[in-house]
Chains A and B, each alone.
Chain A
Amino acid sequence: GAGVSQSPRYKVAKRGQDVALRCDPISGHVSLFWYQQALGQGPEFLTYFQNEAQLDKSGLPSDRFFAERPEGSVSTLKIQRTQQEDSAVYLCASSAPGYREPKGSPLHFGNGTRLTVT
C-alpha cells in the first residue's frame, strides 16, 4: 500500500506570498500530524488532527499558519504572508491508533516539503 504522500516536494516562495502544502495520509489512518523541521534540528510539532477534528494546534507559530482536514483524510497546511523564518522542511505523519495501545502506534511519515522563502 502507499505511504504518506506530500506535495510539492520542493516549494520556493517569495516573501509575502501564500503557500499551501498537501498531505495524503495512509488510507484509514485516523490521526494526522504536521511537524516543522529547521535545518539540522529535530522536528517541531505544529498541529494534530483526529479525523476532521483539529485537537491540538498549540505548535502553530503564528496566526499566519493554518491547517485543515475537512473530510478526515487529506490535509492542507497553509502559510500566509510567508517570512524567511518559515523556511524549513514540513513533515506530515499519520497513524492508526490500535484499540489496545493507541499511544504506542508509530507515526508514519512522508518525505516532507522543503519550503524556501526568498
Chain B
Amino acid sequence: AQTVTQSQPEMSVQEAETVTLSCTYDTSESDYYLFWYKQPPSRQMILVIRQEAYKQQNATENRFSVNFQKAAKSFSLKISDSQLGDAAMYFCAYRRTQGGSEKLVFGKGTKLTVNP
C-alpha cells in the first residue's frame, strides 16, 4: 500500500521569507500524481499544486513550487514571499494512475505559521 510521510509536524516562517515543506512517499508504481493541499481553519481543503510523476519538470503556481525527486520519492513544497494568508495545515497526497481506486492517500500534515 502507498504511504505518504510528512516529517515536519510544524513549521514557521517570517512574512516575505521562503519556507520548504517536506514530503516523502512509498510506491512501487512508475506513474502517479502528487498533490499539495492547504487546509485553513475553515476546514476546506484547497488544492495548491499538483505534479504528474512522468513529467520531470517541477510544477509551479505563482509563489508555490515543488521539488520533485522521483528516484528519492520526495515531493517538497516551496512557498516564496510568504504571506499571512498562507498560514494553514498543508497536506501532501498521492494518487495512483493505473487501475484500482481513485482515492487520494494523505500524509499527516504540516502546520505552517507565518509570523508578521
Interface of A toward B, CB cutoff 8 Å: 31, 33, 35, 40-45, 48, 50, 55-56, 58-59, 89, 91, 93, 95, 97, 101-104, 106-107, 109-112, 114
- Please report the C-alpha to C-alpha distance between residue A50 and residue B95 in the assembled complex, in whole angstroms: 16
Against A, the Cβ 8 Å flags (1 = close, 0 = not) of B32-54 are 11010100001111110010100
- Please report the C-alpha to C-alpha distance between residue A103 and residue B53 in the assembled complex, in whole angstroms: 12
Number of A-B contacts (CB under 8 A): 70
> A42 to B33, Cβ gap below 8 A?
no
> B42 to A42, Cβ gap below 8 A?
no
Contacts of B44 in A (CB 8 A): 109-112
| A111 touching B43 in the complex, CB below 8 Å, given contacts A103-B97, A106-B50 | yes
Assess whether B75 is interfacial by the CB under 8 Å rule.
no
Interface of B toward A, CB cutoff 8 Å: 4, 6, 32-33, 35, 37, 42-47, 50, 52, 91, 95-97, 101-109
Contacts of B35 in A (CB 8 A): 106
CB distance from A100 to the nearest CB of B (A): 11
Between A31, A56, A95, A103, the greatest number of chain B beta carbons within 10 A of the residue's beta carbon is seen for A103
Contacts of A106 in B (CB 8 A): 35, 47, 50
CB distance from B32 to the nearest CB of A (A): 8
Output the nearest chain A residue to B106 by Cβ-Cβ distance: A42
| A45 touching B103 in the complex, CB below 8 Å, given contacts A101-B52, A111-B43 | yes
